[in-house]
Structure formats: structure tokens, C-alpha cells
């Protein structure tokens, strides 16, 4: 080794020794002569030291975890050995009945003991958006970014507490998203949140592994290949930052985990929380009905080896597991056409007390796995370097018999609609019979959830025919946005909306806690937008709204490719234009009537 001591401080020198003892001589074998390329050597040692401190157990801990997992992968170890799959116990919340209301009411009472965790470190390569996904508008009637929508939900939760306190908001970012997420929060005054309630945790990349012996892979002489470690990093960061323990100390009893582009997640929050509270679940997976074979993790109860656990089983592993155990036909549909194993949508409700205990026990390293692509049948070489990964939904893998996992099944479009694919891939997915998960479908489903709320309140909601825009399904209307400030539960919508009708292609936006509509009819294509500040009590009674409304205008081919068209419009293929919508805004407290 040609590693001159001049470039390494004492700590770095010790780390070099540790790495040499861990069989990583190759990292230093080709070093230039002492005094040559000192800057690069120093930067390399600093990067090693940085990774060493950010991973619990340090670099040598990472290497030994990698060796163990790679040996298991090579041996073809069956992770389900001795386990029998069963349908998980589920709480069915797919219909908006008295049970749903019961759980929503319970959950709403628990808002003051809840924190929200948003994992937003993903680059969104499939979407191909140049900014961060949190900045993409979930709808373009008023152009509300996901981050603004989530912040509005947190503020609405606070406004519904008997003694209001800010809901802690934990955002996990990565090098890919950190600066832009911070910039977005700063530029928008934290979207009305208090700076102190927002906690940003940054995940680090981990070193790639070149072979079964756990040699760290070099990109060049003084640079490691680094790769993302997955959204399971959130657990490690909640532990190493001390935030989990602090929040528990501050009286937080549940954490609600959401992904970056799911505008529907907070529809499920109150009832999901209610279930967790009443059933005492340590871990509650929010799920949707899944078609057999659908590319979506399947929630499965696994019994054996003296334990019983409900876990997310990746869809490509479920079918072989079923065939090898309880179902020779594999993953088969029930009478309604759904798999017995509901789909994980990665909305999780985790009980704080059990969470903190598990984090203390594991340092937050949750069920790491490795997925090497081998270059040969004997599994001696990889096609390209691999790395350890972790997924946040795998926390129950560390549960013992005392911890309770549960599954709450919600209507799919009510609880989940992500924006993950660019328009070309989204159209191809639709053509193949799968969900498009695009900007257009996410927006369409956002309005659909609004229609569900109006219908639940007894309004006559006429729906428009689904259309294809650039090969992607979109229901043009009615476009209904009931902002979180207006209602967080169905019971609240019922209190504030009585009767009335909304026709195809109309638009209704309600933003403010004290707005009531009684027998309001919005004619096809027309629009009513009501915004009311706190303390403004606004009523609309026996009103018929007829105006030019908002029009959905597909982008022309030229607009679709023009540099002048905002990227967020291009990824959905249309824009929405105001053609004389009725917009009633109340910025001062008082009593108002809309006529």
C-alpha cells in the first residue's frame, strides 16, 4: 500500500487499518506515490469517514452485513423456509358506512398525538421530471404542489385539535432532493407551517459491493461507487437523529408514513389512525384490493418457526410461495376478482412506543436485503456492483409474538394514486391493463376523491365519461377539490354540505373551515370556488351556479414539445383554463352569504 500518513488524520488512519483488516486492501493498492494527488486522496478518505459515521456499525459493519447477506443469496436461501402463507386479518374500510365513520371519529381525536413522516429521497427516474416530485402540482385547476397539499393537511389536523399543537412533519430527503426541498419550503414560507415543526432528515448513499467477498466497488482510483439504500433509511435516521425518542417524549403516539406523490393518502389518515388506536396495532399497513399477479407488494400472514407475522411479500415471490405451500394454482382471485393478499401502498401507521424500542434494539437498520444480478450460473460474479437495500414496510420483520400487525383495506382511488411514470410509459401501462400512475391519473383520482366526499354527503354527483389523453385515462369532471381546511373527515363534509347537484365537467373548490352549501346546483361546465379565512362564516343556499367554468384544454403537439410549456403540464398532456368561474374569496372574519 502506498498510503502516506501525511494525507490521513488519526481517525482516518484508524479507519484505514480497520478497512485493511476487513479485506479492503484494494481500496489503497493503486495509490500514487506519497505527495502525488494528495487532494484526491484526502477527498477519498473524507468520503470513507463520512460513510463510516452515517451507517450504524460503520463501514466494517456494512461490509460484514453485506458478506452475510451475499452468502445467503448465493446459497439460494429461501426466506420463507418453514413458513405457511395465510390471508392476513384485515379491517375492511372500502365502503363508507357506520364502521368507517366510527374509525374516522376515533382517528380525528388522535390528531394531537400523531406525527407525519414523508419519504421524499427518491429521484423519480421513471417520471423524468427535472425538479423534485414534491413540487409537482397534484392538480392544475389551482396548481397545488404535493408539498403544499401535505402541509395543508397538517394545518387542518392542527385546527381540529381541542388544544391545537403543530403536527410534527418529518421529511426524508437525499442528496438528489435535499437542496430543492429546502428551497421549496423557504420560498413558500414553509407553506404556512412553523419552521420548528418541520424536521428534515437526509439519507446517505451506501457503497456498492463488487463481489461475494464484500469488496467495496471503486468507480475510479479514489472514488467509491455509491448507491441509494432505499426508503427503509427513514427508520435509521429517526433513530440516529434522536427524533423518534424525542417525539415519543413529547407525547406523539403514532407516526403516519406517506410517499412523495400520493395526493389521496390523507383521505385514509383519520380512519387508519382510528383502527390503529382501537385495535392497538403496533404496525398498521394501509392496503388496497389487488388483482392476482398485479405488480404490487402483497400483505401476507406467514405462520411458522414459532411466530406469526404479517409482512409485505413482493408480488414476484408470492406466487411461487403459494404454489410451493397452500395453493397449487398460485395467487388466485376470490369471488370479486381480488387476490386474498391485499396490495401494500406504503402508507403505514406505526405505534411510537414499539417503534422506539425496535430502533433502540436494531439501531434502525431494518431488514436489509441484497439483490445481486449474477453473471454466471455458479453465482461467483455479479453483472454489475450491487448494494444493501432496505424498505420501510419491512419493519415488522423485527416483530416478536407480542407486537401486533394489522392491515386496513381501503378503496384504491380513495387512498392511493401515485405520479410515478412519464406519459409514454403511463400510456403503455394503461394499454397493458395496468394502472398508469401518471400526472393525469393522479389528478383525475384527486377529483374523484372529492366526488366521493360530495356523494357521501348526499349531493347528486353526475360523472362524466372517462377519456384518454395521450393514451392515459382521465375523467374530465366534475372536478371537486375539498381542501383539508374545509374537511378532514366524511362526517365534516356531511355537516357542511346538504343536498344540491353537480353536473358533468363542472368544478367545485371549497377551502376554509366554515363554509356551508345547502341545495347548491353547479351546472355542467360551470365552476364555483369558495375560499374563506378562519373566522369567515360563508353560506350558499338554494344557489344555481352557471358560468363559463374551467375548461380542460389538451396540449397541442407543438405545446407538448415547446420549451415554453411548463414541465408539470407536459407530464399530464393538458392544462386547465379559467373561462369565467365564480370565485368567492373571504379574507376577513365575518358572516357572508354567496348569491
Positions touching ligand UGB (CB under 6 A) are 119-122, 172, 174, 203, 228, 230-231, 259-260, 296-297, 344-346, 391, 393, 418, 420
Q: Which residues contact 471 (CB under 8 A, 6 or more apart)?
A: 423, 426, 427, 428, 430, 431
Q: How far is CA 425 from CA 120, 397, 432, 560, in A?
A: 22, 33, 10, 16
Q: How far is CA 251 from CA 151, 172, 332, in A?
A: 21, 21, 44
First to last CA, the chain: 83
CB 217 within 8 A of CB 385: yes
Residue number with CB closer to ligand UGB (244 or 529): 244
Residue number with CB closer to ligand UGB (419 or 444): 419
Q: Which of 424, 472, 476, 489 is nearest to 448 (CA)?
A: 476
Strand partners for 445: none
Residue number with CB closer to ligand UGB (393 or 582): 393
Residue number with CB closer to ligand UGB (174 or 267): 174
- How far is Cα 189 from Cα 139, in angstroms, rounded to an integer? 21
Q: Which of 263, 325, 340 is nearest to 294 (CA)?
A: 340
Residue number with CB closer to ligand UGB (237 or 493): 237
CB of 392 to ligand UGB, least distance (A): 7
CB of 38 to ligand UGB, least distance (A): 33
- How far is Cα 477 from Cα 474, in angstroms, rounded to an integer? 9
Residue 430 has which C-alpha cell? 394503461
CB of 276 to ligand UGB, least distance (A): 19
Q: What are phi and psi of 515, to 5 degrees?
A: -115, 130
- How far is Cα 446 from Cα 444, in angstroms, rounded to an integer? 5
- How far is Cα 574 from Cα 569, in angstroms, rounded to an integer? 6
Q: Which residues contact 77 (CB under 8 A, 6 or more apart)?
A: none
CB of 496 to ligand UGB, least distance (A): 32
CB of 142 to ligand UGB, least distance (A): 23
Residue number with CB closer to ligand UGB (418 or 530): 418
CB of 229 to ligand UGB, least distance (A): 6
Nearest-Å Rg of the Cα atoms of the chain is 26
Residue number with CB closer to ligand UGB (8 or 258): 258
Residue number with CB closer to ligand UGB (216 or 388): 388
- How far is Cα 46 from Cα 48, in angstroms, rounded to an integer? 5
**3-state secondary structure string, 506-564?**
CEEEEECCCEEEECCEECCCCEEEEEECCCEEEEEECCEECCCCEEEEECCHHHHHCCC
Residue number with CB closer to ligand UGB (144 or 344): 344
CB of 249 to ligand UGB, least distance (A): 26
CB of 390 to ligand UGB, least distance (A): 9
CB of 146 to ligand UGB, least distance (A): 10
- Cα 441–Cα 445–Cα 451 angle in degrees, nearest 5: 150
CB of 5 to ligand UGB, least distance (A): 36
CB of 418 to ligand UGB, least distance (A): 5
Residue number with CB closer to ligand UGB (167 or 288): 288
Residue number with CB closer to ligand UGB (385 or 549): 385
CB of 436 to ligand UGB, least distance (A): 13
Chain centroid to Cα 378, Å, comes to 38
Residue number with CB closer to ligand UGB (296 or 442): 296
Q: Is the peptide bond before 585 cis (omega within 30 degrees of 0)?
A: no
Q: What are phi and psi of 499, to 5 degrees?
A: 60, -155
Point out the residue whose Cβ comes nearest to ligand UGB. 122
Amino acid at each position: 500500500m502506498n498510503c502516506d500518513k501525511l494525507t490521513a488524520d488519526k481517525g482516518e488512519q484508524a479507519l484505514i487499518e480497520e478497512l485493511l483488516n476487513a479485506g479492503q486492501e484494494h481500496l489503497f493498492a493503486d495509490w500514487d506515490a506519497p505527495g502525488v494527488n494528495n487532494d484526491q486522496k484526502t477527498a477519498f478518505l473524507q468520503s470513507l469517514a463520512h460513510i463510516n459515521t452515517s451507517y450504524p456499525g460503520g463501514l466494517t459493519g456494512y461490509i460484514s452485513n453485506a458478506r452475510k447477506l451475499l452468502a445467503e443469496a448465493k446459497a439460494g436461501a429461501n426466506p420463507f423456509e418453514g413458513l405457511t402463507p395465510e390471508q392476513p386479518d384485515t379491517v375492511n374500510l372500502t365502503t363508507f358506512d357506520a364502521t368507517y365513520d366510527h374509525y374516522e371519529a376515533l382517528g380525528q381525536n388522535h390528531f394531537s398525538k400523531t406525527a407525519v413522516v414523508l419519504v421524499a429521497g427518491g429521484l423519480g427516474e421513471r417520471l423524468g421530471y427535472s425538479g423534485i416530485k414534491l413540487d409537482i402540482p397534484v392538480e392544475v385547476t389551482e396548481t397545488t404542489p404535493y408539498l403544499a397539499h401535505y402541509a395543508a393537511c397538517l394545518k387542518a389536523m392542527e385546527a381540529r385539535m381541542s388544544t391545537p399543537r403543530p403536527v410534527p412533519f418529518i421529511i426524508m430527503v437525499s442528496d438528489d432532493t435535499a437542496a430543492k426541498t429546502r428551497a421549496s419550503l423557504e420560498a413558500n414560507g414553509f407553506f404556512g407551517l412553523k419552521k420548528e415543526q418541520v424536521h428534515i432528515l437526509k439519507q446517505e448513499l451506501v457503497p456498492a459491493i463488487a463481489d461475494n467477498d464484500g469488496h467495496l466497488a471503486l468507480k475510479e482510483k479514489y472514488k467509491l461507487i455509491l448507491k441509494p439504500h432505499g426508503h427503509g433509511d427513514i427508520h435509521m435516521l429517526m433513530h440516529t437523529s434522536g427524533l423518534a425518542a424525542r417525539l415519543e417524549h413529547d407525547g406523539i403516539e403514532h407516526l403516519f408514513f406517506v410517499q412523495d406523490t400520493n395526493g389521496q393518502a390523507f383521505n385514509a389518515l383519520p380512519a387508519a389512525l382510528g383502527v390503529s388506536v382501537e385495535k392497538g396495532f403496533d404496525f398498521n399497513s394501509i392496503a388496497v384490493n389487488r388483482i392476482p399477479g398485479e405488480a404490487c407488494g402483497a400483505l401476507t400472514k406467514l405462520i411458522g418457526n414459532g411466530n406469526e407475522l404479517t409482512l409485505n411479500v413482493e408480488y414476484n415471490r408470492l406466487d411461487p410461495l403459494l404454489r410451493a405451500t397452500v395453493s397449487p394454482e398460485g395467487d388466485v382471485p376470490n369471488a370479486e376478482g381480488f387476490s386474498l393478499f391485499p396490495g401494500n401502498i406504503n402508507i403505514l401507521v406505526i405505534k411510537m412506543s414499539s417503534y422506539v424500542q425496535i430502533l433502540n434494539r436494531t439501531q434502525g437498520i431494518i431488514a436489509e436485503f441484497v439483490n445481486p444480478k449474477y453473471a454466471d450460473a455458479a453465482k461467483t460474479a455479479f453483472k454489475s456492483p450491487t448494494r444493501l437495500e432496505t424498505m420501510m414496510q419491512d419493519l415488522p420483520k423485527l416483530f416478536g409474538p407480542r407486537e401486533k400487525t394489522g392491515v386496513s383495506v381501503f378503496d384504491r382511488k380513495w387512498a392511493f394514486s401515485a405520479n410515478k411514470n412519464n406519459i409514454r410509459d403511463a400510456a403503455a401501462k394503461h394499454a397493458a391493463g395496468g394502472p398508469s400512475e401518471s400526472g393525469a391519473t393522479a389528478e383525475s383520482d384527486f377529483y374523484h376523491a372529492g366526488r366521493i366526499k360530495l356523494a357521501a354527503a348526499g349531493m347528486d354527483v353526475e360523472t362524466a365519461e372517462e377519456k384518454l389523453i395521450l393514451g392515459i385515462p382521465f375523467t374530465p369532471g366534475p372536478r371537486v377539490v375539498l381542501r383539508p381546511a374545509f374537511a378532514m373527515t366524511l362526517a365534516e363534509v356531511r355537516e357542511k354540505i346538504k343536498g344540491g347537484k353537480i353536473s358533468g365537467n363542472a368544478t367545485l373548490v371549497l377551502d376554509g373551515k366554515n363554509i356551508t352549501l345547502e341545495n347548491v346546483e353547479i351546472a355542467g361546465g360551470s365552476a364555483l370556488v369558495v375560499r374563506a379565512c378562519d373566522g369567515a362564516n360563508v353560506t350558499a343556499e338554494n344557489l344555481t351556479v352557471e358560468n363559463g367554468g374551467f375548461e380542460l384544454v389538451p396540449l397541442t403537439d407543438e405545446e407538448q414539445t415547446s420549451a415554453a410549456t411548463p414541465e408539470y403540464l407536459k407530464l399530464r398532456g393538458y392544462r386547465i383554463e379559467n373561462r369565467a368561474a365564480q370565485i368567492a374569496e373571504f379574507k376577513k372574519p365575518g358572516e357572508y352569504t354567496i348569491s
